[in-house]
Structure 1
Amino acid sequence: MLRVGLTGGIGVGKSAVAQRLGHHGAVIIDADRLAREVVAAGTSGLAEVVEAFGAGVLTPEGDLDRPALGAKVFGDETARRRLEKIIHPRVRARTVEMTQSAPHDAIVVNDVPLLVEAGLPPTYHLVLVVETRRELRLERLHATRGMSADEALARIGAQADDARRRAVCDVVIANNGTVEQLHGQIDLLFRERLVPFEEHLRHGTSAPAGHELRIADPDPTWPGQAARLIARIRHALGADAEVEHIGSTAVPALPAKDVVDLMLAVRTLDEADALVPRLAAAGFPRREGEWADNARGMPGETWPKRLHGNADPGRPVNLHVRVTGSPGWRFALLMRDHLRAVPAAREEYAAAKARWAVEHSDRFAYGEAKEPWFDAEARAADDWAEETGWTPAK
């Protein structure tokens, strides 16, 4: 089962995105709808709301008077938090029930307006955010909800802004055009990413990387992408999991294959093997085969490790699982920090990458061509470590 979070600010057209995903067969769990259901007439949720805020939040028919309740909590942080303590646990419980009742091969989309504010992104395999230009949002809120510009701006300002959402979301859906244009984006996303993601997740396989070599220009979003992946891994394994962003995408201004390299440190390879089911469930299945690091002059020619990939075809990942203190663990951290700190070394590596890319079109041949450079880098990085007193991050 693939769990997808869907969010976006008020007036962006998030419901239209959810409807189109539902059209393709996704199971939609609408947090707003559940929030209404758990305080419907006759529920324990409504009784608790009345106890907290008084009978003035009821209509003559005994239903919740939402405008009256809104007037009590909007702009009052204490009141808002009190209401959330009543509603949110009930919504979470219903969400769990609905998720567990979905088919095992379902794509479950949780439509959660305050997903970012609630710190929920790491709990999903993928997070989508819908964005719309502010002027369009104001027009829609006036047309559909009768809000004045001031009212709409106040509601927009009370939520996370676009930059905050983008920082923790994987896919941005722009809803500034026609319905047909929006549907085109959703259809492509569903077909090319969500469906194969779910299939790889269910079968415990990584999305194929392919053999063709392509070196990308430095991408300033790589560290943010790595941070989202690390947050998911820590959600799956525990907040104290030692996960680092390594490799070329971790070095600013360095061209690289568009593959995010991460490293999980473990005490033993038996511990690494025990983590396989949890990593696979989080979307990082183990790659079959025997994997080892070049010891780079340390005792033993190679040092074994485990390697995991990503079930998401939209974000290639190598998750190296290495024993703390092993040659590969140390070299990954040292090389990253050395290249970050020494511009000349970084520029030399970038030039070498450009040369190897011309000489080799296959990424495996490219990888072999880098080995002599890595040997020289290991020696230079060791000298730098001794000069600066560098030690591996703990």
Structure 2
Amino acid sequence: MAGLLMLVVGLTGGIGSGKTAVSDRFAQHGVPVIDTDLIARELVEPGQPALVDIVTEFGSNCLDDDGRLHRARLRERVFADPAGRRRLEAILHPRIRAVTRERVAALTAISYCLVVIPLLAETGMTALLDRVLVVDAPEAEQIRRVMARDRIDAVQARAILAAQARRDARLALADDILENDGDFMALDRQVAALHRRYSALATHQIKTDDPG
């Protein structure tokens, strides 16, 4: 990321690929993790400008009885309406990018950080990153995980997958690919190896950029 000595690694992957399992393991190695999904949730808390803009654009029906964003209702609405999804993205994505930049810039005394961007291929946030790690999983495993997590059927799970960027589009962005087929021990080994690689790359980057 321009102007920063630390290495910024973007983590992405399709729904149900296991991004959280991977980012949690990096965190166990002491790596700071910035999750853009969590940032998005913060941005739509009551009183936040993004929520005001969403209500203006989509109406008060997208709120629950407590005045909070009714995520399922809004998701169902924009899922069936590509133009509506683009309007929602225009409200959220610039704000997410700005907050992500601020949080990366606020980190000090570290060699590298991980930024989780589930929709990296869709949002074009690669300019924030030095390197991209794609978590990949068999489609059948993705569908199984999404069905279990969201309590939906296979038809709904496949529809969600189909609405995201194609697998080959994500892989085309990858500097590194982590295969997550459900073998936790193999996942631990892959994350540990990547942590060593990123730490070494970050050390090299710092030495290269050091004017002394």
Sort the TM-score into its range (normalised by shorter chain). over 0.9
Question: Cα deviation per residue 1:335-366 (whole Å; 9 max; x = unaligned)?
Answer: xxxxxxxxxxxxxxxxxxxxxxxxxxxxxxxx
Q: Percent identity?
A: 38
1:1-394 equivalences under 5 Å are 1-121=6-126, 123-191=128-196, 193-204=197-208
Matching residue's letter, 2:156: E
Shift of 1:7: 0.3
Separation in structure 1 between the aligned mates of residue 126 and residue 173 of structure 2, nearest angstrom: 6
What is the TM-score of this pair, normalised by structure 2? 0.92
Following the alignment from structure 2 to structure 1, what is the Cα–Cα distance between the partners of residues 98 and 62? 24
Query: Following TM superposition, by how much is the alpha carbon of 1:163 offset from its aligned partner in structure 2, in angstroms?
Result: 1.4
Q: CA deviation at 1:82?
A: 0.8
CA apart distance, 1:75: 2.7
CA contact (8 A) 2:111 2:199 kept: no
SS of aligned partner of 2:11: strand
SS at match of 1:7: strand
- Counterpart Cα distance in 2 of 1:170 and 1:122: 14
Deviation at 1:30, TM superposition (A): 0.5
Deviation beyond 6 Å, 4+ runs, structure 1: none
Rounded to whole Å, the distance in 1 between the matches of 2:198 and 2:128 is 16
C-alpha distance 40-106 of structure 1, shift in aligned 2 (>3 A) = farther
Q: CA deviation at 1:105?
A: 2.8
CA contact (8 A) 1:121 1:169 kept: no
Letter in 2 for 1:87: L
**Aligned-partner SS, 1:80:** helix
The code of the aligned residue for 2:206 comes to R
Structure-1 separation of matches of 2:185 and 2:78: 38
- Residues in 2 aligned to 1:7 and 1:84: alpha-carbon distance in whole angstroms: 18
Residue 145 (structure 1) shift: 1.1
TM-score for both structures, normalised by structure 1: 0.51
Distance in structure 2 (CA, Å) of the matches to 1:69 and 1:128: 30
Q: Cα distance, 1:123 vs. partner?
A: 3.9
Corresponding letter in the other structure for 1:162: R
Greater helix share, structure number: 2
Is the radius of gyration larger for structure 1 or structure 2?
Answer: 1
Counterparts of 1:154 and 1:177, CA distance in 2: 22
Deviations 1:55-98 (Å, cap 9, x if unpaired)?
A: 10001011100011112211312111111111112111211111
State the 1:104 CA deviation: 4.2
- The number of residue pairs the alignment matches comes to 206
What secondary structure is seen at the aligned counterpart in 2 of 1:176?
Answer: coil
- Is 1:105–1:198's contact at 8 Å kept on the other side of the alignment? no
**Offset of residue 18 of structure 1:** 0.6
Seen in structure 2, the aligned counterparts of structure 1 residues 101 and 123 have a Cα distance that, compared at 3 Å, is: closer
Which secondary structure does the structure 2 equivalent of 1:129 belong to? strand
CA contact (8 A) 2:93 2:123 kept: no
Q: What is the identity, as a one-letter code, of the residue corresponding to 2:176? A: V
Q: 1:170-193: CA deviations, max 9, x gaps?
A: 1110001322211111011101x1
SS at match of 1:10: coil
1:68 maps to amino acid? R
What is the CA distance between 1:119 and its match in structure 2? 2.5
Q: Is the 8 A contact 1:4 1:110 kept in 2?
A: yes
